[in-house]
Amino acid sequence: MNETPSGHPSAVGRVAVVTGASSGIGRATVVELTRRGAQVLAVARRVDRLEELAAETGAVPHAGDLDSMEACEAVIEDARRRLGPVSVLVNNAAAGSSYDSSVVDLDPERWRWMLAVNLDAPMYLTRLAARDMVAGGWGRIVMVSSTSANIGEPASAAYCASKAGLLGLMRAAAVDLGVHGVTCNAVLPGWVRTEMSERSARRESEATGATVEQVWSRRAASSSGGRLATAEDVARVIGFLASDESAGVNGQAVTVAGSGLW
């Protein structure tokens, strides 16, 4: 396989869909995949940020929500129409734990909304994109889960459940699709300083009386390596899982949480 000037495996000719692309891990993933030569449909709600990302990377913007099957169908149809059959899907978009609450106080409507965004949408997108991948005999699906899938977080019942559900979906898809040359894996980021996690830091600050910076210092210390992962750290792992090099990796959950064990 050809390589880029930086020595990384080339993704020239691959069509990728990345959700939650306007900031944080999603944005870093678009940058990583376009650098590798992929044609990327960048999906998010913020039109202004998508336009900035398109100008920077050449990604094709798709503005919209992912809260219904019809919205997910529109994403895949747009990718096919503008770029071609989908061969890489990164399910990154999510509602964060800052919108969540304790299991005791959890509003059933909020529970249903968070699962619709965090779990239903990845299932719909995977179902649709996998058809292109199976037809082409090659594909890569990456679910962006969270260490919260394995470690309960306070006041985050729906978020933790949805992120754990992604792991079950990933493993089932890996079994169903592996025989067709399609892999499905997950990354589990620890604390990454994104807009989403900044909201939860502010909420924790208000609840505990600690400053926001103290909250982040404690989060960094929770990794045995004593550092926070960056969005770029996670994006590089996604880039590998989306490449030919990762052909032998299927049905795996990769933790990206600074350094050392989480």
Alpha helices in the chain (DSSP H): 24-35, 47-57, 69-82, 108-115, 121-136, 157-177, 195-208, 212-221, 231-241
Active site residue 159: yes
Among 124, 159, 191, 262, the active-site one is 159
Q: Reduce the DSSP state of residue 223 to 3 states and report it.
A: coil
- Between 47-57 and 24-35, two packed helices, what is the crossing angle to 10 degrees? 20
- Between 212-221 and 195-208, two packed helices, what is the crossing angle to 10 degrees? 110
User: How many whole angstroms from its chain centre is CA 34?
Assistant: 16
Lookup: tokens for 155: 């006041």
Catalytic residues: 159
